[in-house]
Each structure stands twice: as C-alpha cells, then as structure tokens.
C-alpha cells in the first residue's frame, strides 16, 4: 500500500503489526525533523499512525494526568496517545490543528480513526465483511488485492458537473473507496463500524461584544494565533502571495511574526502572467510587502507553458479526473518552493468562505423589508468593486437576493408583504410593477412544486445523467448552496458554504500536489476557532457600505498595507487556461474527437463535443468559459481512460501533453 504513494515516503518507511492489524507510514522531511507531522508509535497496548499537528498542545497536556512526563521534545503523536489513554475516543474533542490518525487498542481490539475539522489532512476508507483498510489516498487502497477497482460512474458525473461536490464529502473515483468526512471519527470492532461527527459549527451562536472595536480586536487575536500556529517548525517557511486580501493578510502577518521569532527570511511565491494582463496581479503582489525586510520574493510564469503539461502526474496524484483546471499554477509554485528548500507553505485558501462576503446581511435586509437600505448597499457594492466579471451590478444583486424573496412571498401567500416589496423594487430598481407581478408572482405560483423538464447535460452522455439523477441532484445543490433561501436564518448562507463538500475536496488536492514536492501546505483560514468566531459575527460586520469582509479589513489595520486593505476584486484566472490551451494545444484539441478512446466516448455526448470544438475554433456559440471548461473536461477524462486508472507517470516534473 505505502509503496503506491512514493511522494509520501521520500525519507523512508516504517511499519508495525499486531496479529491481523498492520500500520505503515511514509516519512517526509518534516516528519523526520520535527515534533509534529508523520508518526508511527507503539506505547504499551496502543499503536498509533498519523499525520498530526496539534495547535493546542499546552492546553491538552495541562489537562492530562500529571504523571505523564511531557518534555519540550514530546511529539504530537505522543500527546495523542496520552489523550487517548485519558479520554478514549473522546480525545479528539480536545484537539485543534490539522490531523488524521488511527489508534489500534490491543486491549479492546478496536481501531479508532479521526480526521481534523476542515479535512486538511486526508483519509480514505474501505470496508467489507473481511477487512477494514485506510490510507491517505485511494491509490493505496486500490493496491490491495481485496479492494475492487471498479470505476465509480457517479464520480464521472461530478467531473462534468463539479457543483455536485458541494453535497458529497465521501465520493471517490472508485465505488469501493470512501473519504472520511472532516470532523468525523470512526470506531471499528469485529462486530461493527460506528462513524459520527465530533464537531459541528453552530449557526445560532452569536458573539457578543460591547463595541465594534472589541469585535475587531477579537478577530485579530484569533487570526494571528491561527497564523502563528501554522508557522511552527524548524524548516524554511513560505507563503503563497497572489496580491489578494487573503494571501496578503497571511504573508504580512507571517513576516511580522517570524521577525519577532528571529526566523526570517520569509519566502513568498506568486504567479504572474506576462501574456494574460487580465490575470496579472504583480502590482498588488509587490505592494503587499513593499519595503518590508526579510522577504525573499519568487515569481513563477505558468502562462509560458501548456496548462496540460503535467497532466499525467496530476491524474495519477488525484486518482483520476480532477476538478481544478488551474492547478497547474500550484504545481509551478510548489516546484519553486522545493528548489528553495522550503518545506512549509502557508496558503490563503478559502478566506472568502471563512470570513464571508456578507451575503447574509443582504438577505436579512430584504427579509426585514428594509428595501431602501438594500438598494443603497447594492449601489455601494457596485462602487466598491473593481472587477466587471463579478455579480456586482445592482440589477444582478436584486435578481440574486431580492427577486427570490419576492417569489417566496407569492408562494407562501404573504400578499401584504409581497405588494410592499413590489412597490419598493419598482421605486428603487425601476422594474415594472405589472411585469414583476406576472413574472415573479403569478408565474411563481403556477410553477410552485413543479419540476423543470429542461436540463442541458452539456458534453456528458444523456443516459449517464439520467442514470444518476444528475438533474435532481443539481437542483438540490442549487436550492441549498447557490440560491437565496427564505425564510433566511441570520447566518444560513455563511454556514452552508463553510460546511459544503467543496472545501475539503480542494484541501485534499492541494495536499497531494504539495506532498509531490515534499512540502506541507497549511491553511490559516481553515482553523476551527477562526471559523467559529467568524460565523458568530453579526452579518453587518461582514458587509458594510459595499465593502465585503469588512471585519478582516478593519482588524488588520497596521498589518496590511492600505493599498491592499482597501482593494476589491481580483484577477481573472479563467483567461489563463483559455489562452494557454489556444496557444499550446489548439491543433490537438481540434482533433480530439478523432482519437477519443472508446471508454471516454461511453461517457460523452459526441455531437455536443463536436459543437464545442467548433465554438473553440471559431470563437462563437456558447459562453467562452463553458467551451474551455468542456474541452478541458474531455481532454482529462480521455487521458485518464487511455492511461489506465492507476498508472503512475514516468517522473516528477516530466512534461506531458493530454492530447498526444
């Protein structure tokens, strides 16, 4: 099993066994040199294997038996074993950090597994009547002769409609292999397998402070603590730096903390795009740490090669087709970090989700009938945003948040509120009252409870979509995650996004790509205590006068440069993929239908694919983002089918084309 993941065992392998139970672990550089990370231990009647970084070591050890001797060099794995002896399977309730681990208890003949709150560290499972197995990646489980290698066709549906990931945290490309969800624990005995949540966010909890300054100070404290916890280690430290608010906040905070700890320099890694001006952020990148000492800035140029250059390696790493067409940019960054000897990188992944843009505030305004304030806030957002590709238009925001509430009022028969809202929408947004009544009143009533018969499967085979109820599942996803729902809870939108399946999937992908270059990637915004605090903050502190993530901006005054702190919008990476495919892969893409494998044809609508290739060639037809996405999906799926679903590429950094 472990040998199927060579990128995770570059510094050696250890294994232990007890009768029918065997553990193995592959060691990375951090596992060898640090008190955190990969560990394989035997202590009395307990075996432990895991990848563990605990952020609250002091609190845990203080609560444990004083007879336990915890010196400065005690490892996080040893603390986990001591906590298990003290609290049993409830030990994980006391942990904060990034971890996945398993404990074999010889006395009770039980196996206990757990995964961290956000799913930063991966864990996959297989179980049958005869065996229970776990590993960091599906490929290690498939290496067992007992584990069927049957492809999961439902996961191929996800390849064509990535939105389905929002609702499924367990799916993999193999029917027999499941991912353990974040914040879950599993207890396995000969008689049963019991899985449960050990931590959940509470959308009804509200932080209560006497002033806005106290909220800002509290955010600053928990954010800086999250960053500092992720700077732990003896290795060189790096940060991704895009010039956006999230990565800049982490990079600036990291530099200041490392300076206090006398651990500079900080390495920063940024992607710049000479040939794609709409995506190039070097002005903001340079502004983020301008005139700050102790920073080594590196820039990579992903637009100078094909987006499909490392496709074989990527498919192998991700155990099949993957969602993330721009992940080739991350590989360039991790390569550069490896060349610098950096072993730990902090990343700003999903700060948007954790802090929130404040959509709940808009929902509360329309639900409370505060249409004047809603219109003013919409206008302020439009003024604040500098990116024309966002939803930031007054009409667009009305359609996203105001019109759904109007239709909700019609469907539920709340006609007094309905006509009150209609009158204000007419006055503030210029809509015809008659047309509003027809389109978003009468039609909403007529269509209430009916399912739309129209569903465009795109380039995916129509029969495959019907077999796995893709249309119905997408409607469920849209209802929960992508549409404004009423009655709206004060934090419903924020909560739904924090608990969706998209974030753990992304974290798993980043973990695999970083480990390919012997790097550990850490995510300060994916911190349980930070998420708990941000969710509990009143919505008006997340969006204020058109400024999203208001609390972060106010809290980090003096840490973030003003030019970064007050910016809005960001570069458009979609153009990088589009131009890269046109520049490097056009001839091969246009011939895609000629050499498409029979297995790939089984899952695709070939006529629609031909239409898409025509649009790619002529620049017309469908939306250009849809065209590029569909082409990328077809090329990746076809390459996987041709290679075989578990083929390892020839070597790290090798150059491959998806459409040879």
Would you list which residues are annotated within the binding site for L-glutamine?
A: 76
CB 547 within 8 A of CB 139: no
d(CA 456, CA 434): 31
Among all chains, which residue has been given the structure tokens 């740490």?
A: 289
> 330-333, long-range: CB within 8 Å, 24+ apart, which pairs?
330/510, 330/513, 330/514, 331/513, 331/516, 332/271, 332/300, 332/301, 332/302, 333/240, 333/269, 333/271, 333/300
Q: How far apart are CA 111 and CA 108, in angstroms?
A: 9
The H or E element spanning position 371 is helix 371-384
Query: Closest Cα partner for 529 from 277, 234, 202, 263?
Result: 202
The answer to whether the beta carbons of residues 199 and 184 sit under 8 Å apart is no
Contact 360, 492 (CB under 8 A): yes
C-alpha torsion sign, points 286, 287, 291, 295 = negative
Q: Report DSSP letters for 635-654, one per residue.
A: HHHHHHHHH-TTPPPSSTT-
| Contact between residue 581 and residue 631 where contact means Cβ atoms under 8 Å apart | yes
What are the DSSP E strand ranges found in 130-214?
132-135, 178-179, 184-188, 193-197
The dihedral sign for the CA sequence 458, 463, 464, 467: positive
Report how far residue 58's alpha carbon sits from residue 62's, in angstroms, rounded to the nearest whole number. Answer: 6
Residues present in the chain in total: 660
Give the helix ranges, DSSP H, for 230-301: 245-260, 282-288
Query: Binding-site residues, please?
Result: 76
Look at residues 250, 233, 232 and name the one whose alpha carbon lies nearest to residue 241.
Answer: 250
- 354 neighbors 534 (Cβ within 8 angstroms): yes
Category of 32 on φ-ψ map: left (φ > 0), alpha (ψ -120 to 50) or beta: alpha
The token duo for 451 is 């399912």
In whole angstroms, give the CA distance from residue 92 to residue 76: 13
Q: Are 172 and 124 in contact (CB under 8 A)?
A: yes
Whether 322 and 509 have beta carbons less than 8 Å apart is answered as yes
Please count the other Cβ atoms lying within 10 Å of the Cβ belonging to residue 246. 22
What CA–CA distances, in Å, run from 576 to 325, 483, 521, 571? Answer: 10, 29, 24, 10
> DSSP 3-state helix, strand, coil percentages of the chain (rounded to 5)?
50, 15, 35
Residue 358 CA to residue 219 CA, distance in Å, equals 16
């Amino acid at each position: 099993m472990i040998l199927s993941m060579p990128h995770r065992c570059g510094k050696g392998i250890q294994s232990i066994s007890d009768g029918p139970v065997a553990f193995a672990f592959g060691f990375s550089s951090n596992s060898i040199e640090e008190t955190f990370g990969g560990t394989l231990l035997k202590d009395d009647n307990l075996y432990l294997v895991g990848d563990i970084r605990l952020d609250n070591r002091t609190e845990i050890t203080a609560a444990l038996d004083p007879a336990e001797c915890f010196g400065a060099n005690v490892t996080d794995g040893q603390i986990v074993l001591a906590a298990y002896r003290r609290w049993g399977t409830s030990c994980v309730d006391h942990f904060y950090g990034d971890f996945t681990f398993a404990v074999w208890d010889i006395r009770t003949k039980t196996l206990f597994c757990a995964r961290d709150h956000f799913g930063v560290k991966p864990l996959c499972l297989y179980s049958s009547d005869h065996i229970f197995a776990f590993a960091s990646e599906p490929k290690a489980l498939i290496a067992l002769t007992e584990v069927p290698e049957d492809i999961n066709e439902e996961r191929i549906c996800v390849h064509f409609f990535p939105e389905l990931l929002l609702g499924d945290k367990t799916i993999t490309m193999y029917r027999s292999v499941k991912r353990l969800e974040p914040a879950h624990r599993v207890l396995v005995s000969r008689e049963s397998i019991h899985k449960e949540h050990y931590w959940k966010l509470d959308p009804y909890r509200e932080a209560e402070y006497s002033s806005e300054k106290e909220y800002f100070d509290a955010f600053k404290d928990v954010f800086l603590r999250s960053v500092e916890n992720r700077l732990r280690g003896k290795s060189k430290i790096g940060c991704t730096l895009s010039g956006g608010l999230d990565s800049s906040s982490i990079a600036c905070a990291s530099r200041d903390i490392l300076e206090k700890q006398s651990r500079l320099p900080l390495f920063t890694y940024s992607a710049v795009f000479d040939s794609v001006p709409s995506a190039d952020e070097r002005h903001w990148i340079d502004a983020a740490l301008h005139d700050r000492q102790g920073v080594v800035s590196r820039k990579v140029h992903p637009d100078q090669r094909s987006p499909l250059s490392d496709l074989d390696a990527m498919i192998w790493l991700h155990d099949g087709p993957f969602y993330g067409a721009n992940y080739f940019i991350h590989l360039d960054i991790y390569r550069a970090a490896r060349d610098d000897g950096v072993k730990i990188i902090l990343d700003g992944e999903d700060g948007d989700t954790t802090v929130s843009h404040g959509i709940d505030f808009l929902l509360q305004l329309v639900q409370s009938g505060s249409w004047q304030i809603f219109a003013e806030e919409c206008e302020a957002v439009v003024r604040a945003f500098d990116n024309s590709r966002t939803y930031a238009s007054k009409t667009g925001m009305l359609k996203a948040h105001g019109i759904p509430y109007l239709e909700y009022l019609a469907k539920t028969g709340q006609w007094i509120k309905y006509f009150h809202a209609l009158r204000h929408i007419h006055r503030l947004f210029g809509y015809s009252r008659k047309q509003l009544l027809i389109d978003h009143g009468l039609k909403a009533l007529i269509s209430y409870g009916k399912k739309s018969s129209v569903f465009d499967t795109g380039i995916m085979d129509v029969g495959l979509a019907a077999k796995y109820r893709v249309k119905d599942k997408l409607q469920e996803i849209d209802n929960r995650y992508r549409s404004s729902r009423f009655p709206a809870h004060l934090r419903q939108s924020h909560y739904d996004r924090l608990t969706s399946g998209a974030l753990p999937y992304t974290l798993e992908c980043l973990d695999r790509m970083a480990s390919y270059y012997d790097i550990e990637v850490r995510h300060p915004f994916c911190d349980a205590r930070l998420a708990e605090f941000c969710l509990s903050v009143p919505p008006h502190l997340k969006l204020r006068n058109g400024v999203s993530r208001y609390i972060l901006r106010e809290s980090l005054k003096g840490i973030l440069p003003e030019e970064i702190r007050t910016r809005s919008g960001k570069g458009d990476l979609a153009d990088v993929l589009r131009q890269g495919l046109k520049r490097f892969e056009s001839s091969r893409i246009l011939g895609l239908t000629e050499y498409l494998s029979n297995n790939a044809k089984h899952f695709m609508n070939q006529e629609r694919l031909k239409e898409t290739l025509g649009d790619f060639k002529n620049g017309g037809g469908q939306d250009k983002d849809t065209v590029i996405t569909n082409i990328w999906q077809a090329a990746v799926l076809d390459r996987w089918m041709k290679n075989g679903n578990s083929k390892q590429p020839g070597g790290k950094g090798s150059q491959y084309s998806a459409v040879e």
